Amino acid sequence: MARSKSSTRWLKEHFDDEYVKLSQKEGYRSRAIYKLKEIQEKDRLITQGMTVVDLGAAPGGWSQYATELVGTKGRVIASDILPIDPLPFVEFIQGDFTEDSILNELLELIGNDKANVVISDMAPNLSGNDAIDQPGSVYLCELALDMSQRILAPGGAMVVKLFQGVGSDQYIEEVKRSFRQVKIRKPKASRARSREVYVVATQYFSTN
C-alpha cells in the first residue's frame, strides 16, 4: 500500500529531525525529552532526592530523563494506559488513573510523603478535527491538575502539555488558583507549527 504524500513528508521530517537524531545518539526513548530538558534548564524544577510522578509516560523518555535528575535517593513513579518497556529505577503502573483501582494503586505507591513534581506530556489521539481534539487536550490537562492537587506536597511543581485554543486560557487561570507562579514555555523541540505549549506551575499551595 503506497504511503500518502503527507505521511511520506512526516516520515522524512521525523528522520531528518535534529532531536530525533540526538535522542538516538544519546540513548533516549523519544525526542520529547528535549522539551522537558529545556524546561528543566530554565526552571530547575527537579533536583536530587525528589519524588516525580510522570502521567502518560509512554514510551518513557520523560521518566528516563527524570531518573537522571532525582538520582539514587529520589523516585520516579510513572503511569500510562499503554505499556512501556521496563526502565531502571522507574516504578510503573499500567492503567487509566481515572479508574479508582489504578488511582488507589498510584496513591499507595506515592505514600504519605507526597510528590514534589508532576510531569505530563499527555495528548489525545489527534483526529485532525479541532472541535474534538481541543476539548480532549484540555480534559487531559484537567486530569493532570486534579492529580497534582491530590498528590503534590506544598511548594511542589507541575509541568503539563497544553494545546492553545478554546479553553486553554481558562485552564491556565484554573492552574493559577493552586500555584503561586505559572509560566508558559514553548521549547525549541516543539515543532513551530504545533499549538502545543507547556504550563510550568510552581509553588503549589493547597486550596482546601
Catalytic positions: 161
Contacts of 113 (CB under 8 A, 6+ apart): 51, 153
Binding residues for S-adenosyl-L-methionine: 60, 62, 80, 96, 121
Contacts of 7 (CB under 8 A, 6+ apart): none
CB atoms within 10 A of CB 149: 16
Binding residues: 60, 62, 80, 96, 121
DSSP notation for 4-47: PHHHHHHHHHHHH-HHHHHHHHHT-S-TTHHHHHHHHHHH----
What is the rounded CA–CA span in Å between residue 10 and residue 78?
29
H-helix or E-strand containing 62?
A: helix 61-70
